[in-house]
């Protein structure tokens, strides 16, 4: 995992300790599907630091209490302080505290319900020598694109890392799931990308990019990408609209 600075090593260690316990649990791997930035980074699909653990919840509502109990047992065993936030009732969310100066909190977010178009596959996470079921890269890319708009609609926030991740996935030539785009947005791909272009052009500012990315990338890489990120993402989206036309 890429570290912007040496102080992130402890945070990385805690991410891996939690993931190892989840993977070794007799129940949790059956209901949790690993996704998001940390998943992408551990699989070599992304090159930036990621500070949280994100999952899709594949169990049913009757298993939510058992899932919470299993997770909370892991947190207690590891000596992490636990704050629970569950106001949306659509998922399971925790903020875990560990002792450190500076960054000392890990968010675990578990989303529910899932999109029917999502696809998953078992993946070996070599850095912890464990196998977890993860979103496929096509599903993950589609959700990265949806998040650019969806995070603002759901939480009133825009994350610069979503812009960076979309740019990185496009530049690597990854494919996105059109079915996930259609189900998640309620639009066809061309209309979605037209809306996405307008949103990025109107809402993404240098401040948004800088505040979110400056602690996720090494300083030299951050200074290079921040100057071109919005412009290049707009070009990539415009190219995709042309391709779909």
Q: What percent of the chain has pLDDT over 70?
A: 95
User: Given this model, what pLDDT does residue 89 score?
Assistant: 53
Query: Per-residue pLDDT tens for 75-124?
Result: 999 999 998 765 445 568 999 999 988 789 999 999 989 999 999 999 99
- Between 80-84, 205-209, 231-235, the lowest mean confidence (pLDDT) is in 80-84
CATH number for position 12:
3.10.450.620
Structure pTM?
0.93
pLDDT above 90: residue 29: yes
Same-domain check for residues 130 and 149:
no
Task: Note down the domain range covering 238.
Answer: 136-245
pLDDT band at 2 (very low <50, low <70, confident <90, very high): low
Q: Quote the mean pLDDT of the chain.
A: 92
The last residue of a domain, from among 88, 116, 135: 135
Report the alpha-carbon distance of residue 230 to residue 163 in Å, rounded: 8
The DSSP H or E segment spanning 53 is strand 53-57
Helix (H, G, I), strand (E, B) or coil at 112: coil
User: Given this model, what pLDDT does residue 105 score?
Assistant: 92
Among 28-32, 93-97, 99-103, 155-159, the range with the most confident prediction by mean pLDDT is 28-32
Instruction: Name the domain count of the chain.
Output: 2
Same-domain check for residues 57 and 15:
yes
User: Given this model, what pLDDT does residue 87 score?
Assistant: 44
Same-domain check for residues 118 and 225:
no
The last residue of a domain, from among 135, 155, 170: 135
């Amino acid at each position: 995992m890429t570290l912007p600075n040496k102080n992130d090593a402890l945070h990385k260690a805690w991410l891996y300790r939690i993931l190892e316990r989840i993977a070794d649990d007799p129940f949790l791997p059956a209901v949790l599907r690993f996704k998001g930035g940390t998943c992408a980074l551990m699989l070599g699909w992304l090159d930036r630091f990621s500070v949280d653990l994100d999952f899709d919840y594949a169990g049913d509502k009757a298993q939510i209490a058992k899932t919470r109990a299993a997770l909370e047992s892991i947190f207690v065993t590891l000596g992490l302080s636990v704050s629970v936030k569950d106001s949306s009732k659509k998922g399971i969310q925790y903020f875990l505290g560990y002792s450190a100066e500076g960054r000392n909190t890990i968010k675990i977010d578990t989303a529910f319900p899932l999109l029917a178009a999502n696809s998953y596959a078992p993946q070996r996470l070599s850095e912890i020598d464990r196998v977890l079921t993860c979103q496929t890269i096509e599903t993950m890319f589609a959700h990265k694109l949806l998040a650019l708009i969806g995070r603002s609609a759901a939480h009133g926030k825009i994350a610069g890392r979503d812009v960076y991740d979309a740019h990185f996935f496009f530049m690597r030539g990854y494919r996105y799931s059109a079915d996930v785009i259609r189900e998640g947005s309620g639009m066809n791909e061309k209309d979605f990308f037209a809306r996405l272009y307008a949103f990025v052009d109107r809402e993404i500012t240098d401040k948004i990019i800088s505040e979110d990315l400056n602690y996720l990338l090494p300083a030299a890489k951050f200074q290079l990408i921040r100057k071109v990120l919005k412009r290049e993402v707009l070009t990539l989206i415009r190219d995709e609209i042309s391709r779909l036309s």
